[in-house]
Amino acid sequence: MADRGADDKDVAGTIAARLWNGRWLILAGFLAILAVYFLAGISAYVLVPALAMLLGAALLPAGGAGQSPEDAAAIEAIGLQRLSGEYLAAAVADPLIIFDHAATIVHANASAFAAFGGIAPGISLPLKFRAPEMQALLDSMLSGAVASDVVDYTEKLPVERAYRVSASSVGHGTDLYVLVFKDQSEARRIDRMRADFIANASHELRTPLASIAGFIETLRGPARNDPAAREQFLQIMQNQTGRMARLIDDLLSLSRLEMKPYLKPGTEVDLRQTVDGVIDSLAPLARENNVAIERNFAQGALSVPGDRDELFQVFENLLENACKYGQSGGRVVVSIARGNDGSEPGFDVTIRDFGPGIPEEHIPRITERFYRVDVESSRTQKGTGLGLSIVKHILTRHNARLTIKSEVGKGAAFSVHLPAH
């Protein structure tokens, strides 16, 4: 009710101000209408509407061009007074904390509660944020040494998060200050990933380059006139260049996938036809490794939304790994079954080998880039260490997931769970 009364007073004051500002115009118009009435003899029915229109015109707001700077400033001040600091803080997406000259929290927005928890008005900031960089930031602000400052701060619990914290005073003479926490965790994770990626890629390329350089030096020196050694070294060099070419192809493929991780495929893929095509394309590799590929497909339509070329690459990588690293088992079983895990309808494509299997401690990391269970075996099989990482990225784009089950000595099973819609 008090707010309504204040609004009524504001309206009345505005009307009175407009009438006062236009008093001379109203007087001149009134005299002109009276003169016309008496001299021209117009009807009284015209006089009353004319006077009403004159009064209405005087009450209309003045145009922007005629508005004085003082009036504009007054209007702006009235609008700002209606804004609450709490509403402004709530409009900020980042965690925001307002504190006073005693470093006591005055207000914290919802993002700050979600990020840090256990904060409320009246809590001491130095007790909540004990990191040296935060203590130094608060001291510099409260001492008046600086008007604003920025530090990097890492929150350890419940999960590690990195923030760029900016502090500044609120207005002049308010004895209030504000902290804004800008989450840098994802950017730093990407930076670390990029650095690791460059280091790993450089290492993978350096090894074959060093080998090729050594063989070239030998061919120019001691083996210059040795045909048998020259043939052997050239074959090794060809293998190494082939390995580098495969590595570069996988790097480019992975880079393209990372550039569009959320692109949703819009076409239907026939799983039966796609998996059959993969098996046919890898039949020579299976024969070379003495591996028999068995099919076990469900009946009926086996279609899912997706990109055929990308899903072909997924199953090709998985089946190729099964033929190479599980060749000691002598067979690989490729099955397509309707999803029966109680979740959304879909299909499970499982590629199972009966080789040495994968130790349990390696399974959580096996889809990381350049991660290998057995480095020597991987290089012998001409692996790049990127195949399963590519698989993971493609499945992420298809809203699918990969499940790995293995027991040492009994082989491994890689299952791709694809939603039907």
Residue 246's domain spans which residues?
Answer: 188-259
DSSP H or E segment with residue 304: strand 303-305
DSSP assignment of 205-222: HHHHHHHHHHHHHHHHTT
Same domain? For 331 and 407 the reply is yes
Separation of alpha carbons 13 and 304, rounded Å: 69
* Domain endpoint, select from 81, 96, 117: 81
> What Rg do the C-alpha atoms of the chain give, in angstroms?
38
> Would you state the pLDDT for residue 159?
72
- Are 347 and 402 part of one and the same domain? yes
Domain match, 280 and 155 both:
no
Q: Among 40-44, 84-88, 100-104, 330-334, name the one with the lowest average pLDDT.
A: 40-44
97 and 118 inside one domain: yes
320 pLDDT above the threshold of 80: yes
Cα 418 to the center of its chain, rounded Å: 23
Residue 46 scores a pLDDT above 80: no
Of 102-111, 283-292, 296-305, 333-342, the range with the lowest mean pLDDT is 333-342
- The model's pLDDT over 401-417, given as tens digits with 9 standing for 90+, comes to 899 998 888 889 999 99
Region 145-165 average pLDDT: 83
Tell me, what's the pLDDT at 399?
84
Q: Are 237 and 287 in the same domain?
A: no
Label residue 380 by pLDDT band (50, 70, 90): low
Q: Treating both helix axes as pointing N-terminal to C-terminal, what angle do 185-220 and 227-259 enclose, rounded to 10 degrees?
A: 160
What's residue 65's pLDDT? 42
- Domain endpoint, select from 235, 259, 283: 259
* CA distances to 161, 351, 395 from 302, in Å: 43, 17, 17
Percentage of the chain surpassing pLDDT 70? 71
The whole-number pLDDT of residue 55 equals 60
One domain for residues 277 and 352: yes
Q: At which of 183, 208, 228 does a domain end?
A: 183
Helix pair angle (308-325, 271-281), 10° resolution: 40
- 66: pLDDT confidence band, cut at 50, 70 and 90? very low
Q: Are residues 303 and 394 in the same domain?
A: yes
Cβ(129)–Cβ(115) below 8 Å: no
Q: Which residue has the higher pLDDT, 117 or 4?
A: 117
Same domain? For 243 and 280 the reply is no
Q: Are strands 176-183 and 161-169 parallel, antiparallel or unpaired?
A: antiparallel
Confidence of residue 82 (pLDDT cuts 50, 70, 90): very low
Say if residue 318 is in the same domain as residue 413.
yes
How far apart CA 107 and CA 257 sit, in angstroms, is 44
Whether residue 125 contacts residue 99, with contact meaning beta carbons closer than 8 Å, is answered with yes
Res 182: pLDDT? 92
Q: Is the pLDDT of residue 85 over 70?
A: no
User: Between 122 and 88, where is the model more confident?
Assistant: 122
The string of DSSP letters for 307-362 reads -HHHHHHHHHHHHHHHHHHTGGG-EEEEEEEE--SSSSSEEEEEEEE-SS---GGG
- pLDDT above 90 for 181: yes
The listed range with the strongest mean pLDDT (30-44, 58-72, 188-202, 304-318) is 304-318
Beta bridge partners of 299: none
Bigger pLDDT: 250 vs 58? 250
Q: Which of 89-98, 237-246, 382-391 has the lowest mean pLDDT?
A: 382-391
**Judgement on whether residues 105 and 132 belong to the same structural domain of the protein:** yes
The region, left, alpha or beta by phi > 0 then psi within -120 to 50, assigned to residue 243 is: alpha
User: CA 105, 106, 109: angle at the middle one, nearest 5?
Assistant: 90
Confidence of residue 277 (pLDDT cuts 50, 70, 90): very high
Residues pairing with 333 in the sheet: 294, 352
User: Average pLDDT, whole number, for the chain?
Assistant: 77
What DSSP state is assigned to residue 238? Answer: H
Per-residue confidence (pLDDT) for residue 119, from 0 to 100: 83
**Residue 196: which CATH number?**
1.10.287.130
Same-domain pairing of 302 and 176: no
Give the pair of three-digit tokens for residue 202. 């450089």
Sheet holding 412-419, edge to edge: 292-297, 331-338, 346-353, 412-419, 401-406
Looking at the structure, tell me whether residues 90 and 196 fall in a common domain.
Answer: no
| Total count of domains within the chain | 4
User: Could you read off the pLDDT of 284-297 as tens digits, one per residue?
Assistant: 888 888 889 998 88
pTM above 0.85, yes or no: no
More confident residue, 197 or 276: 276
Res 163: pLDDT: 92
Give pLDDT, residue 80: 45
- Region at 144 (left for phi over 0; alpha for psi -120 to 50; beta for the rest): left
User: What CATH number did the domain enclosing 131 receive?
Assistant: 3.30.450.20
Q: How many CA atoms does the CB half-sphere of 253 hold within 13 Å? A: 22
**Among residues of the chain, what percentage have pLDDT more than 90?**
9
CATH of the domain at 317: 3.30.565.10
Peptide bond just before 227 cis, omega within 30 deg: no
Q: Is 134's pLDDT higher than 80? A: yes
The pLDDT of 337-342, averaged and rounded, is 70
Non-local (6+) Cβ contacts of 390 within 8 A are 250, 253, 254, 257, 313, 314, 317
